[in-house]
């Protein structure tokens, strides 16, 4: 259907919802879990990939709309602050 055909379906007084806007660099119409895997495999430093894969598996086992393991993630950040890298905890 063309944009013109779609516009012709809109009648006066109708409420029209819009969708399709994403932030720059964010994959569109790709499930969150699939995006996480793609980022791990294609963007993360190879040194951290095994730890990130394990983190993601654990987070998915825990469930929730946005899988996460806050205590593990925060420990990685704390190591980076204290030691300059996360190598000591992954």
Domain range for 58: 27-90
Do the domain assignments include residue 34?
A: yes
Task: Say if CB 7 and CB 26 are below 8 A apart.
Answer: no
pTM of the model: 0.62
From residue 66, give the alpha-carbon distance in Å to each of 17, 28, 32, 47, 88. Answer: 25, 17, 8, 24, 26
The label of the residue with tokens 């593990």 reads 72
Do the domain assignments include residue 19?
A: no
Number of domains in the chain: 1
Do the domain assignments include residue 72?
A: yes
Do the domain assignments include residue 10?
A: no
Helix (H, G, I), strand (E, B) or coil at 45: coil
The label of the residue with tokens 């699939």 reads 34
Do the domain assignments include residue 74?
A: yes
Torsion of CA 38, 33, 40, 61, to 10 degrees: -150
Do the domain assignments include residue 68?
A: yes
Do the domain assignments include residue 8?
A: no
One digit per residue, the tens of pLDDT, for the chain of length 90 reads 666 766 677 777 766 665 555 566 555 555 777 788 888 998 999 999 999 999 999 998 988 777 889 999 999 999 999 999 888 888
């Amino acid at each position: 259907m063309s944009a013109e055909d779609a516009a012709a379906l809109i009648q006066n007084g109708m409420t029209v919802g819009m969708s399709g806007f994403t932030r720059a660099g964010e994959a569109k119409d790709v499930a969150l879990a699939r995006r996480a895997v793609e980022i791990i495999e294609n963007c993360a430093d190879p040194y951290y990939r095994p730890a990130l894969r394990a983190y993601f598996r654990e987070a998915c086992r825990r469930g929730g709309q946005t899988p996460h393991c806050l205590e593990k993630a925060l420990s990685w950040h704390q190591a980076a602050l204290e030691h300059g890298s996360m190598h000591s905890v992954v």
